[in-house]
Amino acid sequence: MTNPLKKAGLLPLIILAILLGIVCSIFLPEWMVRIFVTFNSIFSNFLGMFIPLLIIGLVAPSIADLGKEAGRLLLVTVAIAYLSTISAGFVSYFACRWTFPSLLGDDMGALDAFDSTADIAPYFTIEMPAFINVTTALVLSFVLGLGCSFIKGNTLKSFLDDFRSIVMLTISNVIIPCLPVFIFGIFLKMGAEGQVVTVLGMFMKIILVILVLHVGVLIAQFLIAGTICKKNPFKALATMLPAYATALGTQSSAATIPVTMSCAKKLINREEIAEFTVPLCATIHMPCSILKIVACSFAVAFSMGMSVDFGLYAGFILMLAITMIAAPGVPGGAIMAALALISSMLGFDANMQGIVIAIYIALDSFGTAGNVTGDGAVAMIVDRIRK
């Protein structure tokens, strides 16, 4: 049977969940609202328990896979992709720091409704403590992934691959299908507590800033690539537009690889460079994804009166760029991989994570399209260095 979620797409379901949550908050009695608040409480605890497992299951085998490919070209491509990704993260941070105080100044405290202890409480909850904290899980993932890339045995690597399959199955069949219900419950509770109008207005401001940043980052990437390769950057960007349009529809970097590769081959002299860089960058080059995550996280933290210091976000961005290589190839996969760092480094609880997920997925297609378009700029630079 066809999975109805895959058929409909996650974005329409998230939008529907937000709208239904707002509408239902008008007439549903409090006892019924508490049913969904109870579900959200249990689901939040499950997420907290599952996040360390998600990190180990995705990061460790991804690092092991990268380590198998030797050669200077691999290191060059990874370095360029990582630099591009963290640069987008820092651009997003400084842009948010410059714009959000004036844009969101009137919305301070608007997200108090996401406090899990506020007003409407669940009927009960089920505690699910994680067996290992997030930081330890990240370190363990790096040790296991790097170790697997150097040893000759395949037993541990096979175990990690199987464990990744289990984690992916859980994400696809449990977490992703539950997200619309979770977000419905968040907006239902928020509407019942009278915060919905202010928060929706804040959403529109955040989305506008992110879309402008997407365009700016893409232009900057091709200006740099065009300068290095001595080519017209705007003509090169226009050449990648078919990949951008395809990614808008597929919401998947992996599914867009054939089109991205075809466009990239028109930009460079050696086709094998495109055949090497494009599939690799589909996994490790996530500038527009990290841009969105940083902007959404900054907006939520700022509105809640939490710390948005540069030192905190600098560490967050540097670690997030590494974690992005483990992002699963499903709609919203990047934000799923980022939840561990959002929780451990920024101190977001599950309800705050839920609002970040909602904003992120609303722009998921644009983030994916920006990522694959930027892969063309990386291919140009790698081709120039190779020559």
- Helix ranges, the chain (H): 4-8, 10-27, 30-68, 72-103, 134-150, 155-170, 176-192, 196-229, 233-239, 241-250, 257-265, 271-284, 287-303, 310-323, 333-344, 350-362, 364-386
* Alpha carbon distance 387, 384 (integer Å): 5
In the predicted structure, residue 339 carries a pLDDT above the cut 80: yes
Nearest to 280 by CA among 266, 261, 259: 261
pLDDT band at 70 (very low <50, low <70, confident <90, very high): very low
Mean pLDDT of 100-116: 61
Query: Residue 73 pLDDT more than 80?
Result: no
- Please give the pLDDT value at position 116: 45
**What are the residue boundaries of the structural domains of the chain, listed by start?**
8-386
pLDDT for the residue numbered 364 = 76
Burial 85-115 (b: 16+ CB within 10 A, else e): bbbbbbbbbebbeebbeebbeebeebbebbe
Statement: residue 101 has pLDDT above 90: no
Q: How far is 361 from 342, CA to CA, in rounded Å? A: 16
Contact criterion met (CB below 8 Å) for 103 and 304: no
User: CATH top-level class for 8-386?
Assistant: mainly alpha
pTM of the model: 0.74
Residue 40, phi-psi category: left (phi > 0), alpha (psi -120 to 50), beta (remainder): alpha
Model confidence band, residue 128 (pLDDT cutoffs 50, 70, 90)? confident
What pLDDT, on the 0 to 100 scale, is given for residue 119? 65
The answer to whether 93 and 174 are in contact (CB under 8 A) is no
Tell me what pLDDT residue 161 has. Answer: 87
Interhelix angle 196-229/72-103, rounded to 10 degrees, is: 140
**Is residue 248 a contact partner of residue 381, using CB atoms and an 8 Å limit?**
no
- What DSSP character marks residue 171? I
Mean pLDDT of 229-245: 89
- Higher-pLDDT residue of 339 and 330 is 339
Confirm if 89 and 291 have CB atoms less than 8 A apart. Answer: yes
Q: What is the pLDDT of residue 95?
A: 92
Q: Residues 348-381: pLDDT tens digits?
A: 887 788 888 888 877 777 888 898 899 999 989 9
pLDDT band at residue 91 under the 50/70/90 scheme: very high
User: Which of 49-53, 55-59, 325-329: highest mean pLDDT?
Assistant: 49-53
Give residue for tokens 């990290």. 290
2, pLDDT greater than 50: no
Residue 32: phi and psi, rounded to 5, are -80, -35
163 residue type, one letter: F
3-class DSSP state for residue 202?
A: helix
Please enumerate in sequence order all residues whose Cβ is within 8 A of that of 73, keeping only pairs 6 or more positions apart, or say none. Answer: 276, 382, 386
Residue 90 scores a pLDDT above 90: yes
* CA distance linking residue 50 with residue 253, whole number of Å: 25
Q: Is the pLDDT of residue 36 over 60?
A: yes
pLDDT above 60: residue 278 = yes
